[in-house]
């Protein structure tokens, strides 16, 4: 049997993974956008300087190259930048309004510098190259205060998101668990008798579909059971007349002087008709709508079982089967005779009919009777179950359930142990 998984636990794990994944993606995006924002701010500062130069150049076309502590302006090309920046930008090719960002390697003379280069087309068609340099050594700890605040804010937002997600997940999981518990309790208490009772509101379509399927299944079972009961009731009523005719004629034949050769067949007919009569009466009693209990009589259990065992003896004639009956004295009890006879008859018939070689043991005590058969000619007890327990066992179980008797049937290596227990 595969290990069962809790739906609440699965939902919790899945939603937690989604929340963690979302936080991870959110954090990565924040870092990227933060870095991008810094680059954008630097580029925007370069653009503002370029626009200011363009305004001044339009007033004074002789303005030429100029520089500040941070920004340098070069007309037409970057060849003259070699005096200040070396050969970093000699081979740089930029399109109009295009940026280039440089971070010199550690091996250079200025590894702490960060460069932004921008090309702009002036009003007369000449190209303006703007180079801004930023020295990280000039930054002070207080300059990072706002950056740290932003980083802390990102962390707080991520933690807050996780907390909110966990709370929402807990509430949702609790809500789903409550609905599942409600559905489970309703299913456990659902019977054919209370099918018409209003069911709890399950809110979600999927749960409602499960409930509908269960109700439809029970309605189908109810219909089948009612059809089966009607059939058994009608069949039993129809059988009573021919059985009564057979029984009356059997009694008539028993009073006649018949040849010895007909005695054995007539006894078999008598036993068969008696079994048919008992079965029919039991079916009628089981399907009786008023559910009245069968007639209770004082019964000598030892005598009843002995008579049944004698009646069943023809089933093992010529077979190598030993039969033993153990009884704790003469036991008399007040029990329903007809159902008791039906149950014992079926259990004994199964033991006798499907034991061709071996032994049969019947033990009777104050509260139960145990019938144990062992067929030494077979190794698989499944054969006995397949053939011996069909309609007879089903009828026996229904009788025991209705009378609140306990019927315990166990399979052994080469036989069956059937124990019938009646209440004290």
pTM: 0.46
Q: Work out the percent of the chain whose per-residue pLDDT is above 70.
A: 87
Mean pLDDT of 286-301: 74
pLDDT tens, position by position, 228-276: 677 766 666 677 778 788 888 888 777 777 787 887 788 778 877 877 7
Task: Calculate the average pLDDT of the chain.
Answer: 80
Which of 3-7, 181-185, 287-291, 375-379 shows the lowest per-residue confidence on average (mean pLDDT)?
287-291
pLDDT given for residue 289 in this prediction: 55
pLDDT tens, position by position, 167-182: 888 888 888 888 888 8
Which residues does residue 193 pair with via DSSP β-bridges, in sequence order?
none
Q: State both tokens at 51.
A: 């626009």
More confident residue, 360 or 292: 360
pLDDT given for residue 140 in this prediction: 67
pLDDT given for residue 12 in this prediction: 76
pLDDT given for residue 390 in this prediction: 52
Among 151, 121, 200, smallest CA distance to 37 is for 151
More confident residue, 110 or 63: 63
Instruction: List, in order of start, the domains of the chain with CATH numbers.
Output: 7-142 (no CATH), 191-291 (1.10.287.130), 294-421 (3.30.565.10)
**Cβ–Cβ < 8 Å for 110, 83:** no
pLDDT-based confidence at residue 381 (cuts at 50, 70, 90): very low
pLDDT tens, position by position, 237-248: 677 778 788 888
Which of 1-10, 260-269, 299-308, 349-358 shows the lowest per-residue confidence on average (mean pLDDT)?
1-10
Query: Does residue 394 register a pLDDT over 80?
Result: no
Query: Does residue 1 register a pLDDT over 60?
Result: no
């Amino acid at each position: 049997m595969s290990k069962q998984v809790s739906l609440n636990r699965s939902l919790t794990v899945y939603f937690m993974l989604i929340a963690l994944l979302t936080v991870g993606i959110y954090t990565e995006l924040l870092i990227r956008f933060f870095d991008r924002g810094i680059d954008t701010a630097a580029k925007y500062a370069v653009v503002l300087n370029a626009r200011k130069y363009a305004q001044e150049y339009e007033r004074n076309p002789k303005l030429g190259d100029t520089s500040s502590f941070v920004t340098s302006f070069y007309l037409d090309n970057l060849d003259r930048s070699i005096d200040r920046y070396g050969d970093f930008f000699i081979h740089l090719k930029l399109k109009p309004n295009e940026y280039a960002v440089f971070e010199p390697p550690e091996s250079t003379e200025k590894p702490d510098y960060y460069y932004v280069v921008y090309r702009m087309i002036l009003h007369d068609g000449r190209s303006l190259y703007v180079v801004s340099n930023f020295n990280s050594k000039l930054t002070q700890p207080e300059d990072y205060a706002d950056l740290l605040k932003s980083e802390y804010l990102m962390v707080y937002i991520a933690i807050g998101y996780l907390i909110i997600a966990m709370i929402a997940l807990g509430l949702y999981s609790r809500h789903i668990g409550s609905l599942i518990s409600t559905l489970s309790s309703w299913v456990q208490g659902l019977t054919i008798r209370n099918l018409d009772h209003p069911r709890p509101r399950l809110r979600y379509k999927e749960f409602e579909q499960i409930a509908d399927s269960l109700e439809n299944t029970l309605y189908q079972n109810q219909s089948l059971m009612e059809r089966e009961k009607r059939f058994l009731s009608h069949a039993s009523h129809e059988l009573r007349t021919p059985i009564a005719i057979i029984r009356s004629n059997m009694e008539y034949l028993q009073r006649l002087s018949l040849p010895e050769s007909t005695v054995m067949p007539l006894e078999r007919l008598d036993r068969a008709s008696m079994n048919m009569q008992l079965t029919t009466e039991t079916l009628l009693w089981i399907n009786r709508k008023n559910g009245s209990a069968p007639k209770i009589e004082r019964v000598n259990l030892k005598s009843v079982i002995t008579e049944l065992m004698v009646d069943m003896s023809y089933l093992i004639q010529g077979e190598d089967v030993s039969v033993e009956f153990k009884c704790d004295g003469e036991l008399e009890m007040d029990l329903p005779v007809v159902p008791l006879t039906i149950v014992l008859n079926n259990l004994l018939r199964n033991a006798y009919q499907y034991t061709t070689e071996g032994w049969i043991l019947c033990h009777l005590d104050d509260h139960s009777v145990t019938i144990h058969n062992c067929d030494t000619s077979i190794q698989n007890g499944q054969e006995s179950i397949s053939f011996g327990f069909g309609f007879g066992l089903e009828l026996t179980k229904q009788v025991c359930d209705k009378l609140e008797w306990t019927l315990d049937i166990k399979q052994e290596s080469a036989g069956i142990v059937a124990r019938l227990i009646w209440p004290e």
